[in-house]
Structure 1
Amino acid sequence: MYISVPMSQVQDEIKAQKLDLIDVREADEFKQGHVPSAQNLPLSQLIERSKELDTEKTYYIMCQMGGRSASACDFLDDQGFKVVNIEDGFAAWRGD
């Protein structure tokens, strides 16, 4: 089971690059703007690329507004990964 948190709760840690952050938006969305420390792993590629992730880490998953990240968290949690959903996503980001 994973938890969901608002961006405001983790924003300072993200800015300090203390979290493993994955943005599951598609590459074209990511290119239009993203959190600087985020790794882009599109939801459409998640099944095949999930083997790139480490089951020992906790990943913070985001998308634009929280829907796709919740789907990604459902899948990753079922695969044994430790994940946290950023429920309001990039739309709530207040940074560069």
Structure 2
Amino acid sequence: MKIYSTILSLIALSAISSVHAEGNIEHGQKIFNRSCALCHGKQAEKSAMGQSQIINTFNEEKIISSLQDRKSGKIEGPGNRVKEGLSEQDMQDVASYIQTLKQ
């Protein structure tokens, strides 16, 4: 019986983890519109400050790793202060939202 209970607990944790790993598109849109759209464009179609790549061409993993690199200071630039306040979930949410902007 204890094994059965342990298996059910693991399944539940796995389900919670997979839900958490997916981005909340609405939350990502709010963050993007508030903090990113001015420089990256409403559709993430602009090169921010003429220095960045067009981020609506990135996959989710590249967006998240780029945000992490900016937050850590590995990549420096004007947008770093905005990125410093993002949680890992915020980054996932923004990345998921940007995927909806692909043409």
Shared fold per TM-score greater than 0.5: no
Question: Which bracket does the TM-score occupy, shorter chain normalised?
Answer: 0.3 to 0.5
Between Structure 1 and Structure 2, the one with more strand by share is 1
Between Structure 1 and Structure 2, the one with more helix by share is 2
Structure 1 length-normalised TM:
0.34
